[in-house]
A and B are shown apart, each in its own frame.
Chain A
Amino acid sequence: MAGKLTRSNRAGWLFALPGFSLLFLFIIIPFFFAFWLSLTNQRLVSPNPTEFVGLKNYSELLRLSVLTLEPERDDAGQIVRDANGEIRYPRVRTITRSGDFPEYRGMREWFRWQSGENAKVVVASNVVFMKALTNTLTFALFIVPLQGGGALLLALLINQKLRGINAFRTIYFMPVVISIVVISLLWRFIYDGEDGLLNNILAWLTFGFFEPVDWLGKSDTALGSIIAMSAWQAVGFHMVIWLAGLQTISPTLYEAAAIEGASKWQTFRYVTWPGLRNTAILVLIVITMQAFAIFAQIDVMTNGGPLDSTQTLVFQAVERGYGRQDISGGSTISVILFVMVLMISAVQGILTRERT
């Protein structure tokens, strides 16, 4: 194999050279650069010399601890409850900010759960990063089936010989061609909490019973709104890939299925879907990777808010590196993101490998 690659293949390497050198210059070198920066205290603007700090940036991002809070008790030893009957606990800041527990200094509550009388509180040294991490994973988890499935559905719809089918193809593909920044701006108007298009449509459909929702302004709807909009935006791109896959399936197979008397579902299940196997793997991996890189929508529509409900890793990397002038911190996030995407792609690769 190695011999085949190198032997009498000068022209091939020559053709690959421009692509390889660009990849090397703009992807591979910057990655090693980022890895090195993540081990230093490099700043964007600073007269101080750069110092090697080891894994400090990583521990500052990833440090987690669990605190156990005991209920507050009154003089008689009874548990103090508030008006709703909820147990009252001392505030986390009495621990994280006291001089008695220097190991928790700078940490902040991420989430908590009840365990018997006590409350277990997970504190993190960088809660925003943790939220960005979970949001990015949530985003990827929802966007993959939504975008992949939606694209397949559209591809099946437009893979027909109808008059004017090209018009539909164009319409579905249109959002892909428009800049994501423009699309994000438009959707900001659509999602507007007072007189946005979405609220107006919903109010009209329900004869005015629908209460307007501030889609991007509430922490429980913001991420969902961005997921829906992102799925819509890129669905056309994957539709074209599915379509290409559909058109490689030989018509004779469909003819044979028709002769056998297969139902529509059976045709899809036993002819179309197996024929799309490789396309499916491509679409899955591409959507996953793109999902982890989500940035523009956040930057234009929410800036990570409200209450960090739409923070994402790439947005945090940029925000830290440029906004907070902390290049080393931003690089650290990029490296963590890289490792994550690499691992997920590897797992996907193993799971979808053709068994021979």
Chain B
Amino acid sequence: MKLKTATFGVLAASTMLAGAASAQTTLGLWYHGAGNEVESRILNGIIDDFNAAQSDWSVTVESFPQESYNDSVVAAALAGNLPCILDVDGPVMPNWAWAGYMVPLPISEDALAGHLDATIGRWDGQVYSVGLWDAAVSLYARQSTLDELGLRTPTLASPWSGEEFMAALGAAKASGKYDYALDLGMAWTGEWYPYAFSPFLQSFGGDIVDRSTYKSAEGTLNGDAGIAFAEWWQSLFTEGYSPGTSQDPADRDSGFINGKYAFAWNGNWAAAATLDAGVDDVVFLPAPDFGNGSTIGAASWQFGVSSSCSHPEGAAAFVEFALQDKYLAEFSDGIGLIPSTKEAAAMTERYAEGGPLAVYFDLSKEQALVRPVTPGYVVAAKVFEKALADIANGADPADTLDAAVDEIDRDIENNQGYGH
């Protein structure tokens, strides 16, 4: 008798709970930022605001460490357990869209007006994902170094040419004051290589794949421009301008700040730390122009809808809500990213007009070129990374690029052209 009452009580309680929740449909959200307290706090703030602001949807978040996020999504997709709203790295999005993990995001174009191009993930003519921020890379230098070595300060309008850049490295090396002239960040394996270094290749006139067809890399990666790039790339290491693949990660983080390196090729996310560490005459210079323009990579983490979501409109409502300038600004202030809109940038401490990092907003706006928009990018990026590491370690540039082309082409063929 006693047991029965208890059972009834539980039943009644659970029905009531279900009743209370049924007013709002629950939408799951997966996020890559587990372990970052500030990031989680801001995201949770947005979700709480969203859940309180309307009565249709209730978003619940689950965070993963960034290193295992993509694996988790792939595993969940194979098991049919995807959440409704997915967080996706920009260059990976076409792969997931092609694989059927994601569906187009039903968001109005008005909501995207004024956003940086690279923060909007398009595939097959449709918007699949939208980011609250972008990231950008620049050449770190101290103004005092430039003055001492008698170097012209490059600007967005007139960046250094390839020769000027090499002359700058030569001058820094000849001064004898630095362990290495340039820190490329070789210690950061993974996506950093294609993200940070493929713009150099593009500036030489090559690319990872032929973007007009996305069917092959032949002649694009291993053409004359590609080989010129690879020989230049190798010279950075044979001439002793840059530490190689065995660079100590700690040196990557603090080498420029400690004056071990004259120049560093690094992202906006490290800029605040550099300023805070007391390098107050640091300048963020645009990439050198090797003949085909000065360019940098673009597209960071973005939100999209998974294919197992039965309410894409709810997901779109959340994304639209999160795109408010105040949230973009909050993320930017919190974790140092470049806000997606001019208005949001104006609300931040660092990216506002005249702010110490305002130059990054302009870099993203003027020079950003997204990585190849193809489902095959995920594999091509790995191949490119290995090719760059091998060439840096002394492999023959042309042969290595040939091998990379063969591998990329074989992969495209094995995937029946990736739907292009």
Contact = CB atoms under 8 A, between A and B. Distances in A.
Interface stretch (B35-43, B112-120, B126-134, B402-410): B402-410
Contacts of B398: 91, 93
B99 A214 contact: no
Nearest to B244: A217
A47 B98 CA distance: 7
A97 B77 CA distance: 39
Nearest to A219: B393
A108 interface: yes
The residue among A47, A193, A216 with the most chain B CB atoms within 10 A of its own CB is: A47
Contact of B415 (A48, A60, A216): A48
B406 A306 contact: no
B263 to A, nearest CB: 19
Contacts of A194: 248
Contact of B399 (A45, A48, A108, A326): A108
A106 B393 contact: no
B366 to A, nearest CB: 34
Given A108-B399, A323-B382, A47 B99 contact: yes
A305 B393 contact: yes
Contacts of B235: none
Contact of B99 (A41, A46, A216): A46
Assign chain B's interface to a size class: 20 to 34
Contacts of B393: 217, 219, 305-307
Contact of B410 (A92, A106, A109, A323): A106
Contact of B414 (A43, A192, A303): A43
A94 B378 CA distance: 30
Contacts of A231: none
Interface in B383-420: 383, 389-390, 393-395, 398-399, 402-403, 406, 410-411, 414-416, 419
A306 B411 contact: no
A324 B248 CA distance: 26
Nearest to A48: B416
Chain A contact residues: over half helix, strand or loop, or mixed? loop
A234 interface: no
B239 interface: no
A325 B389 CA distance: 20
Contact of A93 (B395, B399, B415): B399
A47 B244 contact: no
A270 interface: no
A127 interface: yes
Interface string A125-147: 00100000000000000000000
A288 interface: no
Interface string A57-100: 00010000000000000000000000000000001110011000
A325 B402 contact: no
A214 B245 CA distance: 11
B246 A306 contact: yes
Contacts of B77: 45
Contacts of A305: 245, 389-390, 393
Nearest to A93: B402
Contact of A325 (B189, B379, B395): B379
Contact of A306 (B389, B399, B410): B389
A106 B411 CA distance: 12
Contacts of B364: none
Contact of A214 (B246, B390, B419): B246
A307 B390 contact: yes
A278 B286 CA distance: 68
Interface in B192-248: 244-246, 248
A43 B415 contact: yes
A322 B71 contact: yes
Interface string A184-212: 00000000111000000000000000000
A73 B100 CA distance: 57
Nearest to A328: B414
Nearest to B248: A192
B95 interface: yes
A59 to B, nearest CB: 13
A44 interface: yes
Contact of A108 (B74, B99, B382, B403): B403
The residue among B246, B248, B415 with the most chain A CB atoms within 10 A of its own CB is: B246
Given A193-B246, A216-B246, A217-B244, A324 B395 contact: no
Contacts of A216: 246
Contact of B395 (A46, A307, A322): A307
Contact of A324 (B96, B379, B406): B379
Nearest to A193: B246
A254 B145 CA distance: 75
B419 to A, nearest CB: 8
B245 A45 contact: no
B99 A45 contact: yes
A96 B415 contact: no
A75 to B, nearest CB: 26
Nearest to A53: B414
Contacts of B402: 93, 96-97, 108
B59 to A, nearest CB: 26
Interface string B253-291: 000000000000000000000000000000000000000
B100 A47 contact: yes
B67 to A, nearest CB: 12
B245 A306 contact: yes
B406 A108 contact: yes
A64 to B, nearest CB: 16
A308 B101 CA distance: 34
B74 A324 contact: no
Nearest to A44: B74
Interface in B311-353: none
Interface string A97-124: 1000000001011000000000000000
Nearest to B74: A45
Contacts of B390: 305-308
Interface string B55-70: 0000000000000000
A214 B243 CA distance: 11
Contacts of A60: 410
Nearest to B100: A47
22 contacts: A41-B414, A45-B95, A47-B98, A91-B399, A93-B399, A93-B402, A108-B403, A127-B403, A214-B246, A216-B246, A303-B189, A306-B245, A306-B389, A307-B393, A307-B395, A308-B390, A322-B71, A324-B383, A324-B411, A325-B378, A326-B379, A326-B414
5 shortest interchain CB distances as A-B pairs: A217-B246, A306-B393, A45-B99, A106-B406, A307-B393
Given A43-B415, A45-B378, A96-B402, 14 more contacts: A44-B74, A45-B74, A45-B101, A47-B99, A48-B416, A92-B399, A93-B402, A127-B403, A306-B246, A306-B390, A306-B393, A323-B382, A324-B383, A326-B379
